[in-house]
Amino acid sequence: MRATAIAMALGAATAASSATAQTNAAFAAWLMELRAEAQGTGISKQTLDASFKGVAPIPRIIELDRKQPESTLTFKQYVDRIVSNARVKRGRAQLQKNSPLLQEVAAKFGVQPRFIVALWGIETNFGQNTGGFSVIAALSTLAFDGRRSKYFRGELLEALRIVEQGHIKPENMKGSWAGAMGQSQFMPSSFVRFAIDFNGDGKRDIWTTKADVFGSAANYLAKSGWRGDQTWGRKVSLPDNFDVSLADLKISKPLAGWQALGVRRANGQNLPIVAGMMGSIVFPGGEGGPAFLVYDNFKTTLKWNRSTYFAMAVGHLADRIAGR
Protein backbone atom coordinates (compact mmCIF):
# COMPACT_ATOMS: atom_id res chain seq x y z
CA MET A 1 0.00 0.00 0.00
CA ARG A 2 2.78 2.36 0.96
CA ALA A 3 4.77 1.41 -2.15
CA THR A 4 1.73 2.13 -4.29
CA ALA A 5 1.29 5.56 -2.69
CA ILE A 6 4.96 6.36 -3.24
CA ALA A 7 4.73 5.28 -6.86
CA MET A 8 1.66 7.43 -7.40
CA ALA A 9 3.38 10.41 -5.80
CA LEU A 10 6.45 9.92 -7.97
CA GLY A 11 4.23 9.64 -11.04
CA ALA A 12 2.43 12.86 -10.20
CA ALA A 13 5.71 14.65 -9.61
CA THR A 14 7.07 13.40 -12.91
CA ALA A 15 3.94 14.53 -14.74
CA ALA A 16 4.11 17.97 -13.09
CA SER A 17 7.77 18.27 -13.99
CA SER A 18 7.02 17.32 -17.58
CA ALA A 19 4.20 19.86 -17.80
CA THR A 20 6.47 22.57 -16.40
CA ALA A 21 9.16 21.69 -18.95
CA GLN A 22 6.63 21.90 -21.79
CA THR A 23 5.36 25.25 -20.52
CA ASN A 24 8.88 26.63 -20.24
CA ALA A 25 9.72 25.47 -23.78
CA ALA A 26 6.54 27.05 -25.15
CA PHE A 27 7.24 30.26 -23.26
CA ALA A 28 10.80 30.41 -24.61
CA ALA A 29 9.48 30.12 -28.17
CA TRP A 30 6.80 32.74 -27.49
CA LEU A 31 9.34 35.09 -25.94
CA MET A 32 11.64 34.80 -28.95
CA GLU A 33 8.76 35.89 -31.19
CA LEU A 34 7.83 38.72 -28.81
CA ARG A 35 11.42 39.98 -28.73
CA ALA A 36 11.53 40.06 -32.52
CA GLU A 37 8.32 42.11 -32.60
CA ALA A 38 9.64 44.49 -29.95
CA GLN A 39 12.92 45.01 -31.79
CA GLY A 40 10.93 45.74 -34.93
CA THR A 41 9.28 48.66 -33.10
CA GLY A 42 12.63 50.15 -32.08
CA ILE A 43 13.26 48.57 -28.68
CA SER A 44 16.93 47.77 -28.28
CA LYS A 45 18.45 44.34 -27.64
CA GLN A 46 20.04 45.80 -24.50
CA THR A 47 16.62 46.77 -23.09
CA LEU A 48 15.17 43.37 -23.98
CA ASP A 49 18.05 41.48 -22.40
CA ALA A 50 17.77 43.50 -19.19
CA SER A 51 13.99 43.33 -19.08
CA PHE A 52 13.63 39.59 -19.65
CA LYS A 53 16.54 38.42 -17.51
CA GLY A 54 15.22 35.53 -15.43
CA VAL A 55 11.60 36.10 -16.53
CA ALA A 56 9.39 33.00 -16.55
CA PRO A 57 5.63 32.42 -16.25
CA ILE A 58 4.34 33.03 -12.72
CA PRO A 59 1.62 30.50 -11.80
CA ARG A 60 0.34 32.69 -8.96
CA ILE A 61 -0.58 35.42 -11.43
CA ILE A 62 -2.70 32.99 -13.46
CA GLU A 63 -4.44 31.93 -10.23
CA LEU A 64 -5.22 35.55 -9.39
CA ASP A 65 -6.46 36.23 -12.92
CA ARG A 66 -8.79 33.22 -12.80
CA LYS A 67 -10.09 33.89 -9.30
CA GLN A 68 -11.51 37.37 -9.47
CA PRO A 69 -14.82 36.95 -7.64
CA GLU A 70 -17.47 39.59 -8.00
CA SER A 71 -17.57 41.71 -4.90
CA THR A 72 -20.05 40.44 -2.33
CA LEU A 73 -19.86 43.67 -0.37
CA THR A 74 -22.84 45.96 -0.20
CA PHE A 75 -22.33 49.59 -1.16
CA LYS A 76 -22.27 50.61 2.51
CA GLN A 77 -19.80 47.87 3.42
CA TYR A 78 -17.53 48.87 0.54
CA VAL A 79 -17.53 52.58 1.38
CA ASP A 80 -17.08 51.90 5.11
CA ARG A 81 -14.07 49.71 4.32
CA ILE A 82 -12.44 51.98 1.74
CA VAL A 83 -13.31 55.30 3.39
CA SER A 84 -12.27 54.27 6.88
CA ASN A 85 -11.69 56.76 9.66
CA ALA A 86 -8.00 55.82 9.65
CA ARG A 87 -7.71 56.55 5.92
CA VAL A 88 -9.57 59.85 6.31
CA LYS A 89 -7.21 60.88 9.12
CA ARG A 90 -4.15 59.96 7.12
CA GLY A 91 -5.56 61.65 4.02
CA ARG A 92 -6.00 64.91 5.91
CA ALA A 93 -2.42 64.70 7.14
CA GLN A 94 -1.14 64.02 3.63
CA LEU A 95 -3.22 66.87 2.20
CA GLN A 96 -1.65 69.26 4.67
CA LYS A 97 1.87 67.84 4.38
CA ASN A 98 1.89 68.06 0.57
CA SER A 99 -0.18 71.24 0.28
CA PRO A 100 2.35 73.41 -1.62
CA LEU A 101 2.98 70.72 -4.24
CA LEU A 102 -0.70 69.84 -4.55
CA GLN A 103 -1.63 73.49 -5.00
CA GLU A 104 0.98 73.81 -7.75
CA VAL A 105 -0.46 70.75 -9.50
CA ALA A 106 -4.01 72.06 -9.06
CA ALA A 107 -3.07 75.41 -10.57
CA LYS A 108 -1.75 73.71 -13.70
CA PHE A 109 -4.41 71.06 -14.24
CA GLY A 110 -7.51 72.35 -12.48
CA VAL A 111 -7.96 69.27 -10.30
CA GLN A 112 -8.74 69.94 -6.64
CA PRO A 113 -6.06 68.54 -4.27
CA ARG A 114 -8.56 66.56 -2.19
CA PHE A 115 -9.41 64.37 -5.19
CA ILE A 116 -5.76 63.72 -6.01
CA VAL A 117 -5.13 62.64 -2.41
CA ALA A 118 -8.28 60.50 -2.37
CA LEU A 119 -7.25 58.59 -5.50
CA TRP A 120 -3.74 58.17 -4.12
CA GLY A 121 -5.12 56.87 -0.84
CA ILE A 122 -7.50 54.38 -2.40
CA GLU A 123 -5.13 53.08 -5.06
CA THR A 124 -2.03 52.47 -2.93
CA ASN A 125 -2.76 53.67 0.61
CA PHE A 126 -0.84 56.87 -0.06
CA GLY A 127 2.02 55.12 -1.83
CA GLN A 128 2.52 52.31 0.68
CA ASN A 129 1.04 49.38 -1.28
CA THR A 130 2.20 49.65 -4.88
CA GLY A 131 2.50 45.92 -5.58
CA GLY A 132 5.48 43.60 -5.43
CA PHE A 133 5.36 41.87 -8.81
CA SER A 134 7.79 42.56 -11.61
CA VAL A 135 5.62 44.34 -14.18
CA ILE A 136 7.54 42.77 -17.07
CA ALA A 137 7.15 39.26 -15.62
CA ALA A 138 3.47 39.80 -14.77
CA LEU A 139 2.59 41.11 -18.21
CA SER A 140 4.66 38.40 -19.89
CA THR A 141 2.76 35.76 -17.94
CA LEU A 142 -0.63 37.20 -18.88
CA ALA A 143 0.31 37.84 -22.52
CA PHE A 144 1.59 34.27 -22.88
CA ASP A 145 -1.43 32.78 -21.09
CA GLY A 146 -3.86 33.49 -23.93
CA ARG A 147 -7.04 34.50 -22.12
CA ARG A 148 -6.50 38.18 -22.88
CA SER A 149 -3.20 37.85 -24.67
CA LYS A 150 -3.73 40.64 -27.21
CA TYR A 151 -4.43 43.23 -24.52
CA PHE A 152 -1.56 42.21 -22.26
CA ARG A 153 0.86 41.85 -25.17
CA GLY A 154 0.16 45.48 -26.03
CA GLU A 155 0.70 46.51 -22.41
CA LEU A 156 3.97 44.54 -22.30
CA LEU A 157 5.30 46.31 -25.39
CA GLU A 158 4.40 49.65 -23.81
CA ALA A 159 6.22 48.64 -20.62
CA LEU A 160 9.32 47.82 -22.65
CA ARG A 161 9.15 51.24 -24.33
CA ILE A 162 9.01 52.88 -20.89
CA VAL A 163 12.22 51.05 -19.95
CA GLU A 164 13.78 51.94 -23.31
CA GLN A 165 13.07 55.61 -22.69
CA GLY A 166 14.93 55.45 -19.38
CA HIS A 167 12.07 56.30 -17.02
CA ILE A 168 12.83 53.30 -14.81
CA LYS A 169 15.04 50.22 -14.72
CA PRO A 170 13.18 46.94 -15.35
CA GLU A 171 14.13 45.53 -11.95
CA ASN A 172 12.53 48.56 -10.29
CA MET A 173 9.37 48.44 -12.38
CA LYS A 174 7.09 46.94 -9.74
CA GLY A 175 3.33 46.75 -9.68
CA SER A 176 0.23 44.64 -9.23
CA TRP A 177 -0.25 41.13 -10.56
CA ALA A 178 -2.09 42.65 -13.54
CA GLY A 179 0.69 45.12 -14.37
CA ALA A 180 -0.69 48.32 -12.78
CA MET A 181 2.31 50.38 -11.76
CA GLY A 182 3.47 52.83 -9.17
CA GLN A 183 1.69 54.98 -6.62
CA SER A 184 -1.03 55.89 -9.13
CA GLN A 185 -1.42 52.31 -10.41
CA PHE A 186 -1.22 53.17 -14.10
CA MET A 187 -1.18 50.42 -16.69
CA PRO A 188 1.73 50.98 -19.11
CA SER A 189 -0.61 52.39 -21.78
CA SER A 190 -1.97 54.90 -19.25
CA PHE A 191 1.60 55.78 -18.31
CA VAL A 192 2.38 56.53 -21.96
CA ARG A 193 -0.75 58.68 -22.34
CA PHE A 194 -0.89 60.48 -19.02
CA ALA A 195 2.28 60.20 -16.92
CA ILE A 196 4.29 63.41 -16.81
CA ASP A 197 7.64 64.64 -15.55
CA PHE A 198 6.25 67.31 -13.23
CA ASN A 199 9.50 68.01 -11.39
CA GLY A 200 11.52 68.32 -14.60
CA ASP A 201 14.23 65.74 -13.88
CA GLY A 202 13.79 64.02 -17.24
CA LYS A 203 11.90 60.99 -15.91
CA ARG A 204 8.24 60.24 -15.41
CA ASP A 205 8.58 58.55 -12.05
CA ILE A 206 5.22 57.42 -10.68
CA TRP A 207 6.98 55.01 -8.29
CA THR A 208 8.94 57.28 -5.96
CA THR A 209 8.52 60.94 -6.99
CA LYS A 210 5.39 62.51 -5.50
CA ALA A 211 5.52 65.46 -7.90
CA ASP A 212 5.21 63.06 -10.82
CA VAL A 213 2.61 60.91 -9.01
CA PHE A 214 0.33 63.88 -8.30
CA GLY A 215 0.96 65.58 -11.63
CA SER A 216 0.29 62.39 -13.59
CA ALA A 217 -2.95 61.68 -11.72
CA ALA A 218 -4.15 65.24 -12.30
CA ASN A 219 -3.14 65.09 -15.96
CA TYR A 220 -5.13 61.86 -16.36
CA LEU A 221 -8.25 63.46 -14.89
CA ALA A 222 -7.83 66.75 -16.75
CA LYS A 223 -7.41 65.05 -20.12
CA SER A 224 -10.40 62.85 -19.34
CA GLY A 225 -12.72 65.83 -18.85
CA TRP A 226 -12.36 66.92 -15.22
CA ARG A 227 -13.96 70.21 -14.21
CA GLY A 228 -12.04 72.08 -11.54
CA ASP A 229 -15.02 74.34 -10.79
CA GLN A 230 -17.33 71.44 -9.90
CA THR A 231 -17.52 68.71 -7.29
CA TRP A 232 -18.42 65.05 -7.91
CA GLY A 233 -21.98 64.77 -6.61
CA ARG A 234 -24.08 64.59 -3.48
CA LYS A 235 -26.57 62.38 -1.68
CA VAL A 236 -30.16 63.43 -2.41
CA SER A 237 -33.71 62.71 -1.36
CA LEU A 238 -36.27 61.72 -3.97
CA PRO A 239 -40.03 62.37 -4.03
CA ASP A 240 -42.34 59.42 -3.44
CA ASN A 241 -43.49 59.49 -7.06
CA PHE A 242 -39.98 59.57 -8.56
CA ASP A 243 -39.69 57.58 -11.79
CA VAL A 244 -36.84 55.18 -10.99
CA SER A 245 -36.23 54.60 -14.70
CA LEU A 246 -34.61 58.05 -14.66
CA ALA A 247 -31.87 56.74 -12.38
CA ASP A 248 -29.34 56.08 -15.12
CA LEU A 249 -25.91 57.54 -15.82
CA LYS A 250 -26.94 57.87 -19.46
CA ILE A 251 -29.73 60.26 -18.46
CA SER A 252 -28.38 63.71 -17.72
CA LYS A 253 -30.41 66.79 -16.82
CA PRO A 254 -29.69 70.35 -15.69
CA LEU A 255 -29.88 70.66 -11.90
CA ALA A 256 -32.94 72.87 -12.31
CA GLY A 257 -34.60 69.98 -14.15
CA TRP A 258 -34.01 67.60 -11.25
CA GLN A 259 -35.21 70.28 -8.84
CA ALA A 260 -38.45 70.55 -10.81
CA LEU A 261 -38.93 66.79 -10.48
CA GLY A 262 -38.77 67.05 -6.70
CA VAL A 263 -35.16 66.02 -6.14
CA ARG A 264 -33.66 67.75 -3.11
CA ARG A 265 -30.50 67.66 -1.05
CA ALA A 266 -30.39 64.89 1.54
CA ASN A 267 -31.44 67.40 4.23
CA GLY A 268 -34.46 68.48 2.18
CA GLN A 269 -33.06 71.81 1.03
CA ASN A 270 -33.09 72.93 -2.59
CA LEU A 271 -30.41 71.76 -4.98
CA PRO A 272 -27.64 74.22 -5.87
CA ILE A 273 -28.75 75.53 -9.24
CA VAL A 274 -25.61 76.19 -11.29
CA ALA A 275 -26.04 77.29 -14.88
CA GLY A 276 -24.81 74.67 -17.33
CA MET A 277 -24.19 72.05 -14.65
CA MET A 278 -25.64 68.63 -15.49
CA GLY A 279 -26.33 65.67 -13.25
CA SER A 280 -27.55 62.09 -13.22
CA ILE A 281 -29.34 60.09 -10.54
CA VAL A 282 -27.79 56.78 -9.44
CA PHE A 283 -28.56 54.10 -6.87
CA PRO A 284 -25.06 52.67 -6.22
CA GLY A 285 -26.43 50.06 -3.83
CA GLY A 286 -29.42 49.18 -5.97
CA GLU A 287 -32.94 50.53 -6.27
CA GLY A 288 -34.39 51.43 -2.89
CA GLY A 289 -30.99 52.28 -1.44
CA PRO A 290 -29.39 55.71 -1.08
CA ALA A 291 -29.76 57.98 -4.11
CA PHE A 292 -27.06 60.29 -5.41
CA LEU A 293 -27.03 63.12 -7.89
CA VAL A 294 -23.67 62.81 -9.65
CA TYR A 295 -21.98 65.31 -11.94
CA ASP A 296 -19.55 65.14 -14.84
CA ASN A 297 -16.55 64.69 -12.53
CA PHE A 298 -18.05 61.45 -11.24
CA LYS A 299 -18.24 60.19 -14.82
CA THR A 300 -14.64 61.26 -15.35
CA THR A 301 -13.60 59.20 -12.32
CA LEU A 302 -15.25 56.21 -13.98
CA LYS A 303 -12.74 56.58 -16.83
CA TRP A 304 -10.02 55.89 -14.24
CA ASN A 305 -11.90 52.87 -12.88
CA ARG A 306 -15.24 51.75 -14.28
CA SER A 307 -16.58 50.68 -10.89
CA THR A 308 -19.43 52.81 -9.53
CA TYR A 309 -18.43 51.77 -6.02
CA PHE A 310 -14.88 53.00 -6.67
CA ALA A 311 -15.99 56.37 -8.03
CA MET A 312 -18.35 56.82 -5.09
CA ALA A 313 -15.57 56.00 -2.65
CA VAL A 314 -13.26 58.57 -4.28
CA GLY A 315 -15.93 61.26 -3.91
CA HIS A 316 -16.74 60.35 -0.32
CA LEU A 317 -13.08 60.17 0.72
CA ALA A 318 -12.29 63.49 -1.00
CA ASP A 319 -15.17 65.16 0.83
CA ARG A 320 -14.22 63.75 4.21
CA ILE A 321 -10.56 64.66 3.74
CA ALA A 322 -11.71 68.22 3.13
CA GLY A 323 -13.99 68.10 6.18
CA ARG A 324 -17.21 68.16 4.17
DSSP code of residue 254? E
For 163, residues 6+ apart whose C-beta sits below 8 A from its C-beta are 47, 50, 51, 136, 169, 170, 173
- Does 1 have pLDDT greater than 90? no
Q: Is the pLDDT of residue 134 over 80?
A: yes
pLDDT for the residue numbered 324:
86
Q: Which of 298, 225, 295 is nearest to 255 (CA)?
A: 295
For residue 187, give Cα distances in angstroms to 6, 232, 301: 46, 24, 16
Distance CA 302, CA 9 (A): 50
List the chain domain ranges: 19-67+132-194, 75-130+205-223, 233-321
Helix, strand and coil in the chain, % to nearest 5:
55, 5, 35
**274: exposed, middle or buried (Cβ count in 10 Å: 0-12, 13-18, 19+):** middle
How many helices (H) and strands (E) the chain has is answered by: 14, 7
Q: Return the sign of the alpha-carbon dihedral for residues 266, 270, 275, 279.
A: positive
The answer on pLDDT for 6 being more than 70 is no
Between 4 and 251, residue with greater pLDDT: 251
> For 19-67+132-194, CATH number?
1.10.8.350
217-256 tens-digit pLDDT:
999 999 999 999 999 999 999 999 999 999 999 999 999 9
pLDDT band (50, 70, 90) for residue 291: very high
Whole-angstrom Cα distance, residue 84 to residue 81?
6
Summarize pLDDT for 268-282 with one digit per residue, the tens: 999 998 888 999 999
Looking at the whole model, is its pTM more than 0.75?
yes
